[in-house]
Chains A and B, each alone.
Chain A
Amino acid sequence: MFAILAGAAVLGLGWNGLSGRGFALTQNAYLQEGDVEVGAPEARTRLDQGALFLDARPIAFYEMSHIPGALPLPEDDFDRAFARIEPRLRSSFDIVVYCSGFGCEASHLVARKLKDRGIPAIVLAEGWPAWTDAGYPIKEGPRP
């Protein structure tokens, strides 16, 4: 049985590396061509320079706490939230989207939806936990 597992592992890793269909195993699989990610320190610098932050998590998470100044743009209610803040989005030239971090695809999905509407946005890599682990400020409550 070990031989079957070992053979399958060699085939799988070989296929991933050589077939042209694979991807870097150290890379987040949610990342697609055209996505741009920045780390927490770079995001903090952008916040200080006036970047607009968007919270792609479900609204309940935003209302508990969020990055100061961020607006809610939950991926699960994108169309309605987008319509509400569209003028602000179209007047912003530096937009950073974040969600719940590892295992969360919402920020990438929101950034792509914005891009489809002609609004470039970048993603905070590893999202909310990266921000809070770095000790950067947060704001509690429903207001930005």
Chain B
Amino acid sequence: MKWLRHPALYWLVSIGLGAVFVYASIDKIAHPQDFVRIVYRYRLAGPTAGLGVVPANVLGVVLPWIELVTGVLLVTGLWRREAAALAGGMLVTFLAAVGYVLWQGIDVAHCGCFTVGGEGRSAGWTLIASDLALLAAALYVVRVWPQDAAPVSASDPLPAGR
């Protein structure tokens, strides 16, 4: 399993995961009210008579920015492990939310994963599968320490593909 510690793979998974989170945040940030409507449909943070609308509204406004900041940190490498841990936490939360609506029989036709308008993916089993794959990537970035790249002398030839 030495290949799992290859720096290039580690770098690729980190940037790929970060790019997914950045992409996922953009449409939600551009259309916060539309995303909040999707948050309502999950019925996890309200609105209810007891909670009112504020918790769901705040969640819908702040969550895309957590995704964006997490994604940017993963791409740039700053606080990469902390960002990956946060990404993993978000993915566990998303999995719990999708599991809850499936268990409750709530029809969330548009999951609000990447866009907030048009035809979106429904909150179902395929979404759980893709979230599990992303969670595996996040755990990889948190847990695996890449091997240090061997020092390269200026006279060494460049590897193929560079």
Contacts and interface: CB of A to CB of B under 8 A. Distances in A.
Interface of A: 1, 4-5, 7-9, 11-13, 15-16, 21-23, 25-30, 101-103, 105, 126, 129, 133
Given A29-B40, A102-B46, A8 B53 contact: no
Nearest to B68: A8
Interface in B21-45: 29-33, 36-37, 40-41, 43
17 contacts: A1-B85, A4-B73, A5-B86, A8-B66, A9-B62, A12-B61, A12-B65, A15-B32, A23-B32, A25-B53, A25-B58, A26-B57, A29-B56, A102-B53, A103-B40, A103-B43, A105-B37
Interface string B43-71: 10011110011101110111111101110
Contacts of B52: 26, 102
Contacts of A103: 40-41, 43, 46-48
Contacts, number: 92
Give the interface SS of chain A, mostly helix, strand, loop or mixed: loop
Nearest to B53: A28
A28 B31 CA distance: 15
Give the interface SS of chain B, mostly helix, strand, loop or mixed: helix
B76 to A, nearest CB: 13
Interface residues of B, number: 36
Contacts of B37: 29-30, 105
Contacts of A22: 32-33, 61
Contacts of B56: 29
Contacts of B60: 29
A18 B49 CA distance: 29
Given A15-B29, A16-B32, A21-B30, A29 B57 contact: yes
A129 B49 contact: yes
A113 to B, nearest CB: 17
B83 interface: yes
B15 to A, nearest CB: 18
A2 to B, nearest CB: 10
Contacts of B41: 103
Contacts of B3: none
Nearest to B35: A29
**Top 5 A-B residue pairs of the complex, sorted by shortest distance between their CB atoms:** A12-B65, A12-B62, A29-B36, A102-B47, A8-B66
